[in-house]
């Protein structure tokens, strides 16, 4: 369906340890592209894993996710959900795509999700993020 909103959430394993400059570059390129294309969500790198939530128009999200899946900086992609949605959770949280850079950022996101638990995706995401809250150094 044209212009329908879509949301994808996955975890993956890093295949290479990126140094600070390479990680900053990945984060900056991702936010620039995502913000220019009205893609909302979060991007987190923690304990050798990536977790990403992408929300936006299906015709933008699908080709981006296809590129991401091909990227050899990660593998073992585990898809938590990939579905049509009416409601863009993260657009309401932050009008820009969010890079999670600190334990405080993550705690804020978790609080937001917990306060919206009536939405089943928020509930699922809050539960998924809980183990990561124990890392104080992101």
Ligand X SMILES: Cc1cc2nc3c(=O)[nH]c(=O)nc-3n(C[C@H](O)[C@H](O)[C@H](O)COP(=O)(O)O)c2cc1C
Q: List contacts with ligand X (CB under 6 A).
A: 12, 26, 29-30, 33-34, 43, 50, 52, 64, 67-68, 71, 73-74
Q: Would you put residue 44 in left (φ > 0), alpha (ψ -120 to 50) or beta?
A: beta
Give me 72's structure tokens: 């050899």
* Cα Rg of the chain, angstroms: 14
Q: CB of residue 110 vs ligand X: minimum separation in angstroms?
A: 20
Beta strands 40-46 and 98-99, pairing class = parallel
Closer residue to ligand X in complex, CB, 33/112: 33
Closer residue to ligand X in complex, CB, 123/138: 138
Q: CB of residue 11 vs ligand X: minimum separation in angstroms?
A: 10
Q: CB of residue 58 vs ligand X: minimum separation in angstroms?
A: 15
Closer residue to ligand X in complex, CB, 29/111: 29
Task: Report d(CA 121, CA 52) in Å as an integer.
Answer: 14
Q: CB of residue 107 vs ligand X: minimum separation in angstroms?
A: 22
Residue of 104, 123, 105, 138 lying closest to 9 (CA atoms): 123
Closer residue to ligand X in complex, CB, 99/113: 99
């Amino acid at each position: 369906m044209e212009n329908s909103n879509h949301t994808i959430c996955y975890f993956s394993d890093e295949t290479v340890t990126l140094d600070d400059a390479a990680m900053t570059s990945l984060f900056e390129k991702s936010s620039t592209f995502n913000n220019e294309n009205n893609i909302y969500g979060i991007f987190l790198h923690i304990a050798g894993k990536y977790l990403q939530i992408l929300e936006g128009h299906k015709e933008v999200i699908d080709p981006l996710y296809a590129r991401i899946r091909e990227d050899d900086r990660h593998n073992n992609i585990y898809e938590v959900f990939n579905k049509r949605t009416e409601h863009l959770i993260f657009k309401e949280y932050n009008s820009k795509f969010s890079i999670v850079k600190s334990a405080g950022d993550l705690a804020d996101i978790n609080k937001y999700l917990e306060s919206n638990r009536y939405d089943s995706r928020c509930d699922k995401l809050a539960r998924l993020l809980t183990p990561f809250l124990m890392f104080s150094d992101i």
